[in-house]
């Protein structure tokens, strides 16, 4: 039978086709005009993987490196054994990128992950140090609980390749050893970036001579709330060496690091994007040559609200050394109880290095600590460099002097050669030292009335101004300013600056602002 559609059905079909054609044309127009952004939904982005380390052994990943399954055995079983090395290998090759690595507390807390596979070649991620080449987060359970130890491989612990963006938190990196390239604990290549937060980098060694007992960085490095301690370098930078990169250290401690044949017992920064140190302590570090606490060899270094104390240089610059054209600014900071075998117990500027002090205390430092008569400038020493002072306090420093009979004794000595005054400084008046040309606001006084270096509030130790100190309310009446001319709103501790300690509206000379005490009458009911 021949089929013949009814007139109604035929009309409906033609109408539907026409409507479809019109809709298709409208859709095409919207797509071409970009007006259909809400109508077309993009495919969901791949979620970066998370790998959970559940083994403290050291073994490489097995199976495909791109399947996001962390295991050291292939074919995979129902239970996966994920080592730190395997997790990093998987993160390096993850198609999604941005992997997070965490640590199973039931198997890793308090048990060090000891690297045991000796290095075979520099770029082999299956042996030696842990090579990170991709964007990766390592999230530990606390520096005392998640411990990564390189003592079994005679190699550093981490190597960050160019292009790697890495953050580490809540863990310890220890017992790394760099026999070449430098960076005993961690090496950050140029073009890589590393952020450390609540991380301890301790007891690592650079034996290469290139420096960075704890860490060597040529890239971008940020260190917050962390510890760099007890590291050694055959070269420079016992705790950390900044090799032309950019380093920012905040609220951290650099303690008891050492160079065996170099400068910068705690830190060294070479020319480049520079180093900034804020709200931090650099203490008890030792340099074989210059800069017991910190050495700046070219480039820019800024130190704010920090304390350099009890550091030792076996030549010059016990707390700090600026040389080779380095430009160093210290703001709201303290140099105290540092020592040099030679010149500049507190700090030295030499070889065209320049140092600017803005509201800084340089007190209780020692030059010529072995009493050989070969060092001067207990507080400041100026060779072929320059030191500028503004609203700063130089007091109670010592070097040596030969007395009748030939004996050499310690003797008050604040400066060797003359610093340059920018006004409103306090210097302890001592014969033949600090022959600075005095300008407006500069004070010479035999007693600064400083308290001992101790906890007075804030993140670092400071020296308080005691009642009667001539530094109280004696700084520039126009205000205490930073290197850019902006007012300093607080002192080193973070307490309000311009606190009217003696009733005037001037800030105090030095790093400590005496806060005004208001005695209220006793109310009796």
Q: Beta-strand (E) ranges in 175-252?
A: 177-178, 186-188, 193-202, 205-206, 215-217, 220-224, 227-229, 232-233, 240-242, 246-250
Give the contacts of 452 (CB within 8 A, at least 6 positions apart): 463
Closest by CA to 152, choosing from 182, 188, 177, is: 177
Of 29 and 302, the one with more pLDDT: 302
Average per-residue pLDDT for the chain: 90
- Is the pLDDT at 42 greater than 80? The verdict is no
| Interval 372-404: pLDDT, tens | 999 999 999 999 999 999 999 999 999 998 888
Cross-strand bridge partners of residue 230:
none
- Is the pLDDT at 27 greater than 60? The verdict is no
pLDDT of residue 22: 43
Closest by CA to 124, choosing from 58, 60, 193, 211, is: 60
Displacement of CA 355 from its chain's centroid (Å): 20
- Is the pLDDT at 166 greater than 50? The verdict is yes
Of 224 and 501, the one with more pLDDT: 224
Q: What is the pTM of this model?
A: 0.89
pLDDT of residue 152: 78
CA distance 403 to 426: 28
Rg of the chain over Cα atoms, rounded to whole angstroms, equals 31
- Is the pLDDT at 86 greater than 60? The verdict is yes
- Beta-carbon count within 10 A of 179 CB: 14
Q: Strands 267-270 and 240-242, how do they pair?
A: parallel
The terminus-to-terminus CA distance of the chain in angstroms comes to 117
Instruction: Average the pLDDT over 74-81 and give the result.
Output: 95
Give the contacts of 499 (CB within 8 A, at least 6 positions apart): 508, 513, 514, 515, 516
- Is the pLDDT at 519 greater than 70? The verdict is no
Type and span of the H or E element at 282: strand 281-283
Q: Which of 18-32, 91-105, 358-372, 491-505 has the lowest mean pLDDT?
A: 18-32
Q: Is 299 helix (H, G, I), strand (E, B) or coil?
A: coil
Where residue 501 falls among pLDDT bands split at 50, 70, 90? low
Query: What percent of the chain is modeled with pLDDT above 90?
Result: 80
pLDDT of residue 431: 54
- Is the pLDDT at 174 greater than 80? The verdict is yes
| Interval 185-212: pLDDT, tens | 999 999 999 999 999 999 999 999 999 9
Contacts 24+ apart (CB under 8 A), 443-448: 443/470, 443/471, 443/474, 443/509, 445/470, 448/363, 448/393, 448/395, 448/396
Alpha-carbon separation of residue 206 from 164, 267, 354 (angstroms): 22, 14, 29
Of 20 and 112, the one with more pLDDT: 112
Token couple for 214: 């704890």
Instruction: Average the pLDDT over 297-314 and give the result.
Output: 98
pLDDT of residue 266: 98
| Interval 436-453: pLDDT, tens | 888 999 999 889 999 999
Query: What percent of the chain is modeled with pLDDT above 70?
Result: 88
Instruction: Average the pLDDT over 234-257 and give the result.
Output: 97
Phi, psi (5° rounding) for residue 64?
Answer: -65, 140
- Is the pLDDT at 39 greater than 50? The verdict is no
Of 521 and 110, the one with more pLDDT: 110
CA distance 63 to 68: 10
pLDDT of residue 428: 86
pLDDT of residue 271: 81
CA distance 157 to 205: 11
- Beta-carbon count within 10 A of 502 CB: 16
Token couple for 520: 């209220």
Q: Which of 335-344, 414-423, 497-506 has the lowest mean pLDDT?
A: 497-506
pLDDT of residue 388: 98
pLDDT of residue 180: 87
Q: Which of 88-102, 202-216, 505-519 has the lowest mean pLDDT?
A: 505-519
């Amino acid at each position: 039978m021949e089929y013949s559609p009814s007139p109604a059905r035929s009309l409906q079909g033609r109408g539907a086709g026409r409507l479809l054609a019109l809709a298709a044309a409208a859709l095409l127009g919207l797509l071409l005009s970009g007006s259909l952004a809400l109508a077309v939904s993009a495919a969901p982005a791949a979620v970066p993987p998370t790998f959970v380390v559940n083994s403290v052994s050291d073994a490489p990943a097995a199976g495909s490196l791109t399947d996001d399954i962390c295991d050291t055995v292939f074919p995979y079983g129902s239970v996966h054994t994920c080592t730190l090395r395997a997790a990093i290998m998987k993160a390096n090759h993850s198609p999604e990128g941005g992997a997070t690595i965490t640590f199973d507390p039931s198997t890793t807390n308090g048990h060090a992950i000891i690297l045991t596979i000796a290095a075979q070649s520099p770029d082999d991620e299956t042996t030696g140090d842990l090579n990170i080449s991709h964007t990766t987060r390592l999230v530990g359970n606390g520096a005392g609980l998640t411990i990564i130890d390189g003592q079994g491989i005679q190699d550093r612990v981490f190597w960050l390749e160019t292009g790697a963006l890495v953050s580490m938190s809540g863990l310890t990196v220890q017992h790394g050893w760099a026999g070449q390239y430098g960076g005993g604990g961690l090496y950050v290549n140029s073009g890589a970036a590393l952020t450390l937060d609540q991380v301890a980098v301790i007891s690592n060694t650079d034996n290469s001579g290139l420096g960075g007992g704890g860490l060597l960085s040529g890239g971008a490095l940020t260190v917050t709330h962390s510890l760099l301690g007890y590291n050694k370098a055959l070269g420079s930078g016992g705790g950390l060496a900044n090799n032309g990169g950019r380093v920012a250290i905040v609220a951290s401690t650099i303690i008891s690091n050492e160079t065996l044949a170099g400068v910068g017992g705690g830190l060294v920064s070479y020319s480049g994007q520079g180093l900034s140190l804020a709200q931090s302590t650099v203490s008890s570090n030792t340099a074989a040559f210059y800069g017991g606490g910190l050495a700046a060899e070219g480039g820019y270094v800024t130190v704010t609200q920090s304390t350099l104390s009890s550091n030792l240089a076996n030549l010059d610059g016990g707390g700090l050394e600026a040389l080779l054209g380095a430009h160093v600014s210290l703001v709201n900071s303290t140099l105290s109880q540092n020592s040099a075998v030679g010149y500049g117990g507190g700090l030295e500027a030499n070889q065209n290095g320049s140092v600017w002090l803005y509201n800084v205390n340089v007190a209780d430092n020692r030059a010529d600590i072995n009493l050989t008569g070969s060092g001067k400038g207990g507080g400041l020493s100026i060779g072929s460099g320059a030191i500028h002072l503004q609203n700063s306090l130089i007091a109670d420093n010592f070097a040596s002097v030969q007395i009748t009979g030939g004996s050499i004794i310690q003797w008050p000595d604040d400066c060797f050669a003359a610093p340059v005054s920018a006004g409103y400084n306090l210097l302890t008046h001592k014969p033949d030292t600090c022959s600075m040309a005095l300008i407006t606001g500069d004070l010479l006084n035999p007693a600064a009335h400083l308290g001992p270096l101790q906890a007075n509030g804030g993140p670092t130790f400071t020296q308080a101004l005691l009642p009667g100190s001539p530094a109280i309310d004696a700084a520039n009446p126009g205000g205490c300013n930073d290197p850019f001319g902006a007012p300093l709103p607080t002192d080193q501790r973070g307490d309000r600056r311009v606190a009217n300690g003696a009733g005037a509206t001037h800030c105090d000379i030095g790093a400590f602002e005496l806060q005004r005490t208001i005695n209220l009458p006793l109310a009796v009911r």
